[in-house]
A and B are shown apart, each in its own frame.
Chain A
């Protein structure tokens, strides 16, 4: 197949989007990571739903549970930010509204993700004591 791209364009690898395939790849990589993590999380939710507060604290204190929970949260909020970003970019074409929604999306995902991870770490490290 003949390539019509210039050598410089191919070397830069940025394409028509001007920022390369980084966003696309990060969406795929995060989704690959989330397949096992979400299946594990569903198992965790079933166990947590059957237990009370004491069980939840005990469960999250386990290093494996704490680590996987933090990883699931971080990658989930990363992935959902990437996903809604594409939705906004596809449907909103007014520059100001689009920029505003993209910033809201980033801030909502960043804030709620950080709050969730910090809360998990606090309970995991302190054992639920105040």
Chain B
């Protein structure tokens, strides 16, 4: 927490009464003795009976809702991303991506019904570099959604819902998606499908 130097102009929230004070969770007894919730408060300040003014290094941060105290995605102080949150969000994201993938499958069937020229054209499109990138991404999405879908089915039976199991199955699902994708593309490369 930043402490103001004596020469600094007081911030709008540096007063004790007002908007900020209502949000600070300091017990009334501590407020009386001049101590605040600031981790920088030393024991000596609490010894004095004289009321402390905000200018004595007790500037308060503006009140922030706890869920905003993240400090970024990687190392937030109060609230952090859990792997189970990622897997939950990824299930939706990959599902939406596979929606597009299913439309590509429908296009394959239509191209097949339109004869050799259209079919060769369609295969050329999917076999191009951007096409392969899309297909690789869809393979990842498919295996992820498949594995995480099975995870959800297990949950629906009432098993594996505790934090430890859910974290472990999240890692397992992510590892499976990566491994299965590489295996399938390895097999595709060996069988001349690429």
State the CA gap A39–B143 with chains docked (Å): 9
Whether the Cβ atoms of B113 and A73 lie closer than 8 Å is: no
Instruction: Render A20-60 as a binary contact track against B, CB cut-off 8 A, 1 for contact.
Output: 00000000100110110011001000110110111011001
Chain A 53-81: CB-based contact to B (< 8 A → 1; otherwise 0): 11011001000000000000100110010
Chain B interface SS verdict (over half): helix
B12 at the interface (CB under 8 A from A): no
C-alpha gap A118/B115 in the complex (Å): 15
Q: Known: A53-B120, A119-B110, A128-B115. Contact between A28 and B188, CB under 8 A? A: no
CB neighbours of B156 from chain A (8 A): 28
State whether A80 touches B184 (Cβ < 8 A). no
A83 contacts B95, C-beta separation under 8 Å: yes
Question: Which of B102, B109, B119, B150 touches A35 (beta carbons < 8 Å)?
Answer: B150
- Determine the chain A residues whose CB is within 8 A of the CB of B106 once the complex forms: 73, 112-113, 115-116
Given that A116-B109, A119-B113 are contacting pairs, would A49 and B120 also be in contact in the complex, using a CB cutoff of 8 Å?
no
Q: A35-B146, A38-B146, A80-B102 are in contact. Are A50 and B193 (CB under 8 A)?
A: yes
User: Is B193 a contact partner of A112 (Cβ separation < 8 A)?
Assistant: no
Cα distance A109–B89 when bound, in Å?
A: 23
Which residues of the other chain, B, contact A119 by a CB distance below 8 angstroms? 109-110, 112-113
Alpha-carbon distance between A54 and B116 when the two chains are bound, in angstroms: 8
Give the complex CA separation of A116 and B110 in angstroms. Answer: 6
> Is the CB of A14 closer than 8 A to any CB of chain B?
no
Which residues of B sit under 8 angstroms from A52, Cβ to Cβ? 116, 120, 123
Interface residues on A, range: 35 or more
By a CB distance below 8 angstroms, the chain B residues around A112 are: 102-103, 106
- For A106, the chain B residues whose CB sits under 8 A away are none
Instruction: State the majority secondary structure of interface residues on A.
Output: helix
- 0/1 string, B122-153, CB within 8 A of A gives 1: 01001100000000000000100010011011
Is A120 interfacial (CB 8 A cutoff)? yes
Contact yes or no, A116 B105, CB < 8 A: yes
Closest chain-B Cβ to A73's Cβ sits at a distance in Å of: 7
Bound-state CA distance A50–B190 (Å) is: 10
Q: Which residue of A lies closest to B103 (CB)?
A: A112
Q: Nearest Cβ distance between residue B119 and chain A, in whole angstroms?
A: 4
Residues of chain A within 8 A (CB-CB) of B194 are 49
10 smallest A-B Cβ distances: which pairs? A119-B113, A49-B193, A116-B106, A119-B109, A116-B109, A53-B116, A50-B193, A112-B106, A53-B119, A50-B192
Which residues of B are interface residues toward A (Cβ below 8 A)? 92, 95-96, 98-99, 102-103, 105-106, 109-110, 112-113, 115-116, 119-120, 123, 126-127, 142, 146, 149-150, 152-153, 156, 184, 187-188, 191-194
Interchain Cβ contacts under 8 Å between A and B, 23 examples: A42-B184, A46-B193, A47-B193, A49-B188, A50-B188, A52-B116, A52-B120, A53-B119, A54-B116, A56-B119, A57-B112, A77-B102, A80-B99, A83-B95, A112-B102, A112-B106, A119-B112, A120-B109, A122-B113, A123-B112, A123-B113, A128-B115, A130-B115
